[in-house]
A and B are shown apart, each in its own frame.
Chain A
């Protein structure tokens, strides 16, 4: 969708359009990578640098995020011969990607460095299981955790389900409506050769899968995979010389939270999530509104997280998220597709970065699907979204990524084709 005419895209306020994502890269999405997070991270960062057409000498900043389950920037930079003017490894999982894009803009603006690569490397299946099974689930329970884990209330699915269940109670949201998120994302993944799960599934198949913890069926939950992902942020001026059309950052909000961050279930209504607060920063910063967005990347740790965020960021009225995600809007070919790569439910679990990478490719009009590549090296998109076909969205100009940590904390970024 074109930008609204009355918006001044050159406005310096909040650095709108002054920074760009110039490179994206990832490893394969597998279970059983057979390598360290250091090797995975090196692979993804190298791919992002090559994608941007840069050399190691042209990257001078590095950020990463992790939860005690990964390597550090020092090792990745060392392995690739990158001399850094700035680096930092941040604690955290989901919602970090968008927040770190904002941090990257800040440190470049402060003159600390010029070009920042952000990475997340994880063996989320073969080492530290993201679903919480394995060693994490058998660890001793100490201190504040006695108020949660001692009750068998530990995994993300268990912790978030109070919010999911209460949304069904407050608004009549149905299991079938929410299952439509998995059906849509699986359709997208079937056109993504990189996706871990490429098989299309129906709403009925989601509802027939076994219950993990109510209201979550197995197929309401994301995949656990081993992978690394990376993106490169630099100034819009420097991005002019890039290999790809520029992807400009319109606005960002990072780790915006409900009251009582540590106990989001204390501050009601619990069927409302952090997007309710984040939207009041995101849309004014970006100078656009949800109605202007062509493609969304609403975090799908669970089918419900996609629905709750789209609702609270204002893509539909409060309480109508179930309808919004099940009426065809979020499917390829619909009015505003969500997670066209298949997202965490199908492509692979990366704590949010793969969904930003996907929207960068959408904005370049270069989704890496199975469409034929022409003699100029560019893909000839067919816009035929049948199984195994195209997943490029036509005339994609503006995207919004909505990152999720918990019901109480989220981050977001709006990007445009520049």
Chain B
């Protein structure tokens, strides 16, 4: 069934034909991250697609995946363009390499999951937390609840694991 929701004042819509995204976000709404696993070659993939980018199989199943990884790259937005984010600057958009399947199928590939730096409750992180995260920071997945059947996966610093001595940050700070 189609979803029409509101997040930070921004309309988020999912069409009722969009089976892949509906299933993905339903798992997120249950705070139980799942990705499609190919039934042909067994590789996981992100974000949802209609076939396997490695073997073209159209058959997949939803598999639970641990939401843990390290920041591969990031941008820190100071000039938001979307009205919904203007009140939240500076905010971080993180590209996170999941530990699961890192370096497969080739050494430079990973399941790279996009999300904001958030507090453990899923709200966007305040500036004092934004300043502490960079490339290499270990993060764990949390969720921003949006509506029935829809939550956004987000990232928060993983306090339960040893962090690198110094995460890499943009040099002019």
Residue ranges of A at the interface with B (Cβ–Cβ < 8 Å): 131-133, 137-138, 140-144, 146-155, 158, 161-163, 165-166, 168-169, 174-175, 207, 210-215, 259-260, 263, 265-270
What are 25 A-B contacts defined by CB distance under 8 Å?
A140-B10, A140-B12, A142-B14, A143-B15, A146-B12, A146-B152, A150-B12, A152-B93, A153-B75, A153-B114, A154-B82, A158-B77, A158-B81, A162-B74, A162-B75, A166-B73, A210-B78, A212-B78, A213-B77, A213-B78, A214-B78, A263-B47, A266-B111, A268-B109, A270-B73
Question: Which residues of chain B come closer than 8 Å to A141, judged between CB atoms?
Answer: 10-13
Given contacts A213-B77, A259-B53, A270-B95, 9 further A-B contacts (CB under 8 A): A141-B13, A142-B12, A142-B15, A143-B13, A162-B75, A210-B79, A211-B79, A265-B95, A269-B108
Question: Which residues of chain A come closer than 8 Å to B116, judged between CB atoms?
Answer: 151-152
How many whole Å from A33's CB to the nearest CB in chain B?
Answer: 22
Given A165-B75, A168-B170, A214-B170, does the pair A152, B85 have CB atoms closer than 8 Å? yes
Contact for B21 among A146, A148, A166, A268, CB less than 8 A = A146
Complex alpha-carbon distance, A372 and B10, angstroms = 56
B residues contacting the other copy or chain, number (CB 8 A): 46
Given A162-B74, A162-B95, A213-B75, does the pair A140, B11 have CB atoms closer than 8 Å? yes
Question: Which residues of chain A come closer than 8 Å to B25, judged between CB atoms?
Answer: 146
* CB neighbors of A among B1-60 (8 A): 7, 10-15, 18, 21, 25, 46-47, 53
Contact for A143 among B10, B21, B91, B172, CB less than 8 A = B21
Taking a contact as CB atoms under 8 Å apart, the answer to whether B73 and A169 are in contact is yes
For the complex of A and B, the 7 pairs showing the least CB-CB separation, nearest first, are A268-B108, A161-B75, A140-B11, A152-B85, A162-B73, A214-B76, A166-B73
How many whole Å from A408's CB to the nearest CB in chain B?
Answer: 13
Question: Which residues of chain A come closer than 8 Å to B14, judged between CB atoms?
Answer: 142-143, 146
How many whole Å from B151's CB to the nearest CB in chain A?
Answer: 11
Complex alpha-carbon distance, A4 and B112, angstroms = 44
Question: Which residues of chain A come closer than 8 Å to B135, judged between CB atoms?
Answer: 165-166, 169
Complex alpha-carbon distance, A13 and B75, angstroms = 44
How many whole Å from A24's CB to the nearest CB in chain B?
Answer: 33
Contact for B79 among A151, A163, A213, CB less than 8 A = A213
Question: Which residues of chain A come closer than 8 Å to B12, judged between CB atoms?
Answer: 140-142, 146, 150
Question: Which residues of chain B come closer than 8 Å to A210, judged between CB atoms?
Answer: 78-79
Question: Which residues of chain B come closer than 8 Å to A140, judged between CB atoms?
Answer: 10-13
Taking a contact as CB atoms under 8 Å apart, the answer to whether A169 and B168 are in contact is yes
Question: Which residues of chain B come closer than 8 Å to A153, judged between CB atoms?
Answer: 75, 93, 114
Residue ranges of B at the interface with A (Cβ–Cβ < 8 Å): 7, 10-15, 18, 21, 25, 46-47, 53, 72-85, 88, 91, 93, 95, 106, 108-112, 114-116, 135, 152, 168, 170-172
Closest to A270 in B: B73
Question: Which residues of chain A come closer than 8 Å to B18, judged between CB atoms?
Answer: 143
Complex alpha-carbon distance, A166 and B78, angstroms = 19
Complex alpha-carbon distance, A213 and B76, angstroms = 5
Contact for B114 among A147, A259, A269, CB less than 8 A = A147
Question: Which residues of chain A come closer than 8 Å to B152, judged between CB atoms?
Answer: 146, 150-151
Question: Which residues of chain B come closer than 8 Å to A269, judged between CB atoms?
Answer: 108
Closest to B45 in A: A266
Taking a contact as CB atoms under 8 Å apart, the answer to whether B73 and A163 are in contact is yes
Complex alpha-carbon distance, A154 and B135, angstroms = 21
How many whole Å from A353's CB to the nearest CB in chain B?
Answer: 25
Complex alpha-carbon distance, A413 and B84, angstroms = 41
Taking a contact as CB atoms under 8 Å apart, the answer to whether B74 and A165 are in contact is yes
Complex alpha-carbon distance, A162 and B74, angstroms = 5
How many whole Å from A180's CB to the nearest CB in chain B?
Answer: 15
How many whole Å from B27's CB to the nearest CB in chain A?
Answer: 14
How many whole Å from A97's CB to the nearest CB in chain B?
Answer: 26
Question: Which residues of chain B come closer than 8 Å to A259, judged between CB atoms?
Answer: 53
How many whole Å from A213's CB to the nearest CB in chain B?
Answer: 4
Taking a contact as CB atoms under 8 Å apart, the answer to whether B82 and A215 are in contact is no
Contact for B81 among A150, A154, A215, CB less than 8 A = A154
How many whole Å from B101's CB to the nearest CB in chain A?
Answer: 11
How many whole Å from A147's CB to the nearest CB in chain B?
Answer: 4
Complex alpha-carbon distance, A381 and B13, angstroms = 58
Q: Which of B15, B73, B110 is packed against the most chain A CB atoms within 10 Å?
A: B73
Question: Which residues of chain B come closer than 8 Å to A265, judged between CB atoms?
Answer: 73, 95, 112, 114
Question: Which residues of chain A come closer than 8 Å to B73, judged between CB atoms?
Answer: 161-163, 165-166, 169, 265, 270
Complex alpha-carbon distance, A146 and B21, angstroms = 9
Given A158-B93, A175-B171, A267-B109, does the pair A150, B10 have CB atoms closer than 8 Å? yes
Taking a contact as CB atoms under 8 Å apart, the answer to whether B72 and A155 are in contact is no
Closest to A134 in B: B81
Closest to B108 in A: A268
Taking a contact as CB atoms under 8 Å apart, the answer to whether A144 and B47 are in contact is yes
Question: Which residues of chain A come closer than 8 Å to B172, judged between CB atoms?
Answer: 175, 207
Taking a contact as CB atoms under 8 Å apart, the answer to whether B109 and A158 are in contact is no
Closest to B93 in A: A153
Question: Which residues of chain B come closer than 8 Å to A155, judged between CB atoms?
Answer: 81
Complex alpha-carbon distance, A79 and B95, angstroms = 48
Taking a contact as CB atoms under 8 Å apart, the answer to whether B81 and A137 are in contact is yes
Closest to A218 in B: B79
How many whole Å from A228's CB to the nearest CB in chain B?
Answer: 25
Taking a contact as CB atoms under 8 Å apart, the answer to whether A148 and B82 are in contact is no
Question: Which residues of chain A come closer than 8 Å to B115, judged between CB atoms?
Answer: 151
Closest to A133 in B: B81
